[in-house]
Amino acid sequence: MPFGKITLDTMKIATWNVNSIRTRVGRVTDYLQRADLDVLAMQEIKCKPEQFPVEAFEAIGYKVTMHGLNQWNGVAFASKIEAEDVEIGFTGMPEFKDVLEARALGATFDGVRLWSLYVPNGRMLDDPHYTYKLEWLDRLAANTAEWLEYDPDQPLALMGDFNIAPLDTDVWNIDDFAGSTHVSVPERQAFEAFEQIGLRDPVRERIPTGYTYWDYQQLRFPRNEGMRIDFILGSDAFAERVTSAEIVRDERKGEGPSDHVPVVVTID
DNA sequence: ATGTCGCCTACGAGGCGA
């Protein structure tokens, strides 16, 4: 047995929209080490594979698995252990303007199936991007239902920037969001669909309120005018193993932060 | 004060996306 599969006692997993890995590599690797994460799912890496600063991750003992096409979107994992069964995108993932964007990356880590997801923003309620967002979520939910049916016992989690605030308390003032994306009924229904097929939010179960994103504009962070739009949605087999959760608000502070912060769970 | 940031092209500043 020269190459037995690594089995971890516990696994600390996080999702983080890093808003450019080239700009943020120092902060991300610092946090990886400080938090001692086993797996980090990243979104908005905003680069092609050859532009990703892989060396900085390898220097601290992490492997990188990524999917990036250009300066937009882009998803990745950094992990101490090997990524297995890597999948780019999901079956029937919609295109936007004839392009399949880099918004979904799946991989298995020590038997745990994870997806790093960057859900389309939607832009405006009357924009084609909004229709794209809803279709994209619908296709993701259909795939997820099949994955759960195929192997209900495999721990599975969808992790990422969902660009939806499911509850009124997930934005600083719901009245300011009348007619906006992220809080519309169809978007919230699309989010609830994941719960209806059996996923749970182990972070919400432990941390009912609190934001994961604050816009750079208009002093949103100092005023604590944020949104909760980044989630880890787990199957029962995943959620039952979660022992703790954290939203790392401090990562919005200091020099050169992302506009999002890490959302973390530990499973045993 | 549209109180920002990051990418691109192409070398200065504007456009796009969030």
Cα-Cα end-to-end distance for chain A? 25
Phi-psi region of A20 (alpha: psi -120 to 50; beta: other; left: phi over 0): left
A174: CB partners within 8 A, 6+ apart = A168, A183
Neighbours of A219 (CB within 10 A): 11
Mean pLDDT of each 10-residue bin along chain A, 268 residues long: 66 98 98 98 98 98 98 98 98 97 98 98 97 98 98 97 98 97 98 98 98 97 98 98 98 98 98
Q: Determine the distance between A145 (CA) and B16 (C1') in angstroms.
A: 35
A260 contact to strand B (CB, 7 A limit): no
Nucleotide nearest to A215 (CA to C1'): B4
Residue A61 has a pLDDT of 98
Residue A27, CB, strand B, below 7 Å: no
What structural domains and CATH numbers belong to chain A? 12-267 (3.60.10.10)
Cα distance between residue A75 and residue A40, in whole Å: 11
Which residue, among A227, A148, A212, has the nearest Cα to A14 in the 3D structure?
A: A212
Contact A204, A145 (CB under 8 A): no
Would you say A100 and A124 are in contact if contact means Cβ atoms under 8 Å apart?
no
Among A195, A160, A200, A175, smallest CA distance to A73 is for A160
Do A62 and A80 meet the contact criterion of CB atoms below 8 Å apart?
yes
Cα-based angle A208, A213, A215 (whole degrees, multiple of 5): 140
A124 touches strand B (CB under 7 A): no
Q: In what order do the strands lie in the sheet with A63-67?
A: A63-67, A75-79, A39-43, A11-17, A263-267, A242-247
Specify the pLDDT at position A5.
63
How many C-alpha atoms does A103 have within 13 Å on its Cβ side? 22
pLDDT recorded at residue A1: 45
Q: Which nucleotide is nearest to A70 (CA to C1')?
A: B7
Residue A216: CB less than 7 A from any atom in strand B: yes
Number of Cβ atoms within 10 Å of the Cβ of A77 = 25
Residues A214-243: tens digit of each pLDDT: 999 999 999 999 999 999 999 999 999 999
Q: Which residues, listed in sequence order, are joined to residue A75 by a DSSP beta bridge?
A: A43, A67
